[in-house]
Amino acid sequence: MKKHNYSAGPCILPQEVFDKSAQAILNFNDSGLSILEISHRSKDFVAVMDEARSLALELLGLEGKGYKALFLAGGASLEFLMVPYNLMKEGGKAAYLDSGTWANGAIKEAKFFGETVVVASSKEENYNNIPKGYSVPADADYFHCTSNNTIFGTQMKEFPSLDMPIVCDMSSDIFSRVLDFSKFDIIYAGAQKNMGPAGTTLVIVKEEILGKSGRTIPSILDYEKHIKAESMYNTPAVFPVYASLLTLQWLKKLGGVAAVEKLNNAKAELLYNEIDRNPLFKGAAAVEDRSNMNATFLLNDAAHTETFDTMWKAAGISGIPGHRSVGGYRASMYNAMPIESVQVLVDVMKALEKAI
Amino acid sequence: MKKHNYSAGPCILPQEVFDKSAQAILNFNDSGLSILEISHRSKDFVAVMDEARSLALELLGLEGKGYKALFLAGGASLEFLMVPYNLMKEGGKAAYLDSGTWANGAIKEAKFFGETVVVASSKEENYNNIPKGYSVPADADYFHCTSNNTIFGTQMKEFPSLDMPIVCDMSSDIFSRVLDFSKFDIIYAGAQKNMGPAGTTLVIVKEEILGKSGRTIPSILDYEKHIKAESMYNTPAVFPVYASLLTLQWLKKLGGVAAVEKLNNAKAELLYNEIDRNPLFKGAAAVEDRSNMNATFLLNDAAHTETFDTMWKAAGISGIPGHRSVGGYRASMYNAMPIESVQVLVDVMKALEKAI
């Protein structure tokens, strides 16, 4: 039976990424060697890394604008640490928007370095909305936000304009919608949503903001060292970077970020319309902040849980139970999910309505 | 033509690891889903992580001895930072043995934290030997060494007995020989030699040594947090961990570390005998410190370089040019390399002798 994979991440990727990466494990570039056994310094892999770095910038419209792309290890959680190490001055301060669990994790790490101002938080409302109407201290060294909150199903639709570097964790919606990415000075994203499998993290840095914190930075955490080494300061995660390149190539062929955004809007509209129409369901997030990547919703009557769960499982759907912090359901509709899979879920929701 | 892959790392892995991991990318555990698209919290992947962690301890004879195994991100280079963060007291000191480029990298990171005593160094001799006869300050918080120096082709045959935690970077020879691993308190190793593809790092920690530094440790660098989260503090590198499990399963079927050590000794003996016998070649490392993983050697007369290079390439050999710090050649003979491939290299060396 066809599977409809709604996993929040690691998540669905294009079938051609599976096919091509499986082939590369058996025989990479017709070399007679596996992608798993070649040196990261080999010509073939250096070409992979170079193309992945430049394609990431191209897809975001950031080529020739003073940015460098890096594929680092350690996940977005390591960036929580690297960002203040590289940007927060000794005795300086940073401003953070607290819009969810991961934003909160970033705040905790920043506090190791210095004054960390939380400009606004929706924690008291269990992060069911994006805080708005906040002001950012003019003397902050940088402003940090999280564009999409996977757990709660909220997404920032607008970003502030500020006279300081803006850092954004885009782990769960990068490459899914058109933004003026040149508003940001650092963008980082764990690969395991729209970019590839788990195991590598894309970090995009505007070079001119670096080298100003006055801190001595351990080598492995220093963006300047990684840039100088062309993202090969130490052995990169060869296979995850290769599979990410395949995913970015797929996106480019599809027409890029603008083309996939239209598909993502159509998928989100289809599902949210049903959540709002169907009397059995309600959305979990504030309507104006709803994420096009992760739709969180609940049954109005928990007594229907078992019936609904049996029905979606029978339809080949997996990965939609909600995170324990929200409960209910979470349908993650990343770039590679076809609208046909969303239709299957909507049909199950309609069938539930008829059945009871 | 059959390839003989002498790459220093990432490097040759067993063919069954390639076959099984390619299959898992197309359909993992007959789930209809790829290993690249499943949640790290799914039952199937939690089982992979649990088995990989316990099998690593089992193969090293460390089960039930107070150790925990973690699969972390960031490479051994991130451990250079995590070790002092977790073990070096505020105002304390650490003792390091400087036996090569990576040992030196570890020393540089430790210096960010406090007094870092280099107990001995072979840097002046271009690291062609393992320093001996050193003494370690009794008041050091820990002693750090590197068991095998990939670049220079040297390997520690003996380790000191000390009344302090011993930390060892075993990136390039873990699982290749029998040692009393319980002498060590932290063992770490980037996967990309004997354990799997690039992208994950095995860290084995004796739990009782943690929590004593008095430092506040950023969450992502705190071994205790990773242990508490059962190596899932953040999203692990799913595929690299899975391919590492396949490699460890292969090693267990082969008979474990003792069995592979015999094969490794036979391969090393075959090649070093030829290096010593053949008047055209000489070894680069001190004989008593020669590595069984990486044999470094040079032509006595550089004029034969082109002829030799043409011959080994024609024989299907790849990856033997030496590191720029040493020059000449480096033949890396990790666990998965069959002795037949070593024989091919030895035959080429003999053929060169006849040809000129």
DSSP A299-341: ESSGGGHHHHHHHHHHTTEES-BPPTTT-SEEEE--TT--HHH
Separation CA A49–CA A74 (nearest Å): 17
- Identify whether B312 is a catalytic site residue: no
Give the residue among B155, B156, B344, B178 at the shortest CA–CA distance from B260.
Answer: B178
Q: Which of B68, B98, B102, B250 is catalytic?
A: B102
- CATH 3.30.110.30 at A15-254, yes or no: no
Q: Does A36 touch chain B (CB under 8 A)?
A: yes
Q: Are A199 and A191 in contact (CB under 8 A)?
A: yes
**pLDDT reported for residue B272:** 98
pLDDT at A94: 98
Show the tokens assigned to B73: 């991100």
The residues of A annotated as belonging to the active site are: 102, 169, 193
Mean pLDDT, rounded, of chain A: 97
Partnered with residue B69 across adjacent β-strands are B204
Contact A342, A270 (CB under 8 A): yes
Q: Which range among A141-145, A160-164, A215-219 shows the weakest confidence by mean pLDDT?
A: A215-219
| Interface contact A114, partner B, CB < 8 A | no
Residue B218 CA to residue A112 CA, distance in Å, equals 7
Residue B143 has pLDDT above 80, yes or no: yes
Per-residue burial over B129-144, b = 16 or more CB atoms within 10 Å of its CB, e = otherwise:
bbbeeeebeeebbbbb
Q: How far from A71 is each of A79, A203, A238, B330, CA to CA, in Å?
A: 12, 6, 10, 28
User: What residues pair up with B98 in beta bridges, in sequence order?
Assistant: B121
Asked if the model's pLDDT at residue B232 lies above 90, the reply is yes
What whole-number distance in Å separates Cα of residue A184 and Cα of residue A163?
Answer: 11
The CA distance from B121 to the nearest CA of chain A, in Å, is: 21
The answer on pLDDT for A1 being more than 80 is no
Burial of B115 (0-12, 13-18, 19+ CB in 10 A): middle
End-to-end alpha-carbon separation of chain B, Å? 26
Nearest residue on chain B to A243, judged by CA atoms? B36
By the CB < 8 Å criterion, does B109 face chain A?
yes
Q: Please give, rounded to a whole number of angstroms, the shortest distance from the CA of B216 to a CA of chain A.
A: 8
Q: pLDDT class for B1, splitting at 50, 70, 90?
A: confident
Does A146 count as an annotated binding residue?
no
Q: B104 - beta bridge partners? A: none
In this predicted structure, what is the pLDDT of residue A239? 98
B-chain CB neighbours of A70 within 8 Å are none
Among the listed residues B167, B196, B147, the one whose alpha carbon sits nearest the alpha carbon of residue B9:
B196
A187-203: pLDDT as tens digits = 999 999 999 999 999 99
Number of DSSP helices (H) and strands (E) in chain B, helices first: 9, 14
The identity of residue A326, as a single letter, is V
Task: Establish if A220 touches chain B: CB-CB under 8 angstroms.
Answer: yes
| Chain segment B178-199, per-residue pLDDT in tens | 999 999 999 999 999 999 999 9
Tell me the percentage of chain B whose pLDDT exceeds 90.
Answer: 99
Residue B335: the pLDDT is 98
Nearest to B18 among A5, A34, A216 (CB): A34
Q: Taking CB atoms and an 8 Å limit, are A318 and B192 in contact across chains? A: no
The string of pLDDT tens digits covering residues B281-327 is 999 999 999 999 999 999 999 999 999 999 999 999 999 999 999 99
pLDDT (average), residues A242-254:
98
First to last CA, chain A: 26
Most A CBs within 10 Å, among B23, B41, B220, to test the A interface: B220
Provide the pLDDT confidence category of residue B340 given band limits of 50, 70 and 90. very high
Residue range B33-64, pLDDT digits in tens: 999 999 999 999 999 999 999 999 999 999 99
Count how many Cα atoms sit within 13 Å of the Cα of residue A88 in the half-sphere of its side chain. Answer: 25
How would you classify the pairing of strands A93-98 and A115-121? parallel
Chain A segment 50-89 residues within 8 A of B by beta carbon are 73-78, 80-81
pLDDT of the residue at A305 = 98
Q: In whole angstroms, give the CA distance from residue A115 to residue A95.
A: 9
Model confidence band, residue B18 (pLDDT cutoffs 50, 70, 90): very high
Our measurement of the distance from residue B292's CA atom to the centroid of its chain's CA atoms, rounded to an integer in Å, reads 12
Separation CA A145–CA A134 (nearest Å) = 12
Verify whether the Cβ–Cβ distance B22 to A22 is below 8 Å.
yes
Between the alpha carbon of residue A319 and those of residues A155, B11, B162, the distances in Å are: 20, 35, 51
pLDDT tens digits for A249-304?
Answer: 999 999 999 999 999 999 999 999 999 999 999 999 999 999 999 999 999 999 99
Do residues A224 and A206 lie in contact, with contact meaning Cβ atoms separated by under 8 Å?
A: no
From A85, which residue of chain B is nearest by alpha-carbon distance? B218
CA distance A198 to chain B (A): 5
**Angle at the Cα of A77 (from B196 to A105), degrees rounded to 5?**
150
pLDDT for A38 beyond 90: yes
Residues B8 and A197: their CA atoms lie apart, in Å, by 25
User: What is the average pLDDT value for chain B, to the nearest integer?
Assistant: 97
* Complex ipTM more than 0.85, yes or no: yes
Dist CA A141 CA A114 (whole Å): 11
The reply to whether B337 touches chain A by the CB within 8 Å rule is no
Q: Are A132 and A159 in contact (CB under 8 A)?
A: no
Specify the pLDDT at position B134.
97
DSSP state of A148: E
- Would you give the distance in Å from CA B153 to the centre of its chain? 12
Domain positions in chain A: 15-254, 256-355
Q: Which two tokens stand for residue B223?
A: 């071994």
- Taking CB atoms and an 8 Å limit, are B26 and A39 in contact across chains? no
What's the pLDDT score for residue B2?
Answer: 82
Instruction: State which CATH number among 3.40.50.300, 3.90.1150.10, 3.30.70.360, 3.90.120.10 fits the domain covering B256-355.
Output: 3.90.1150.10
pLDDT band of A2, cuts 50, 70, 90: confident
Beta bridge partners of A94: A116
Of B200, B204, B275, B189, whose CA–CA distance to B245 is shortest? B200
Residues B232 and B241 sit within 8 Å (Cβ to Cβ): no
**Interface touch B221/A105, C-beta < 8 Å:** no
Which token pair is A100?
């969810």
- Find chain A residues with C-beta within 8 A of B5's C-beta: 33, 37
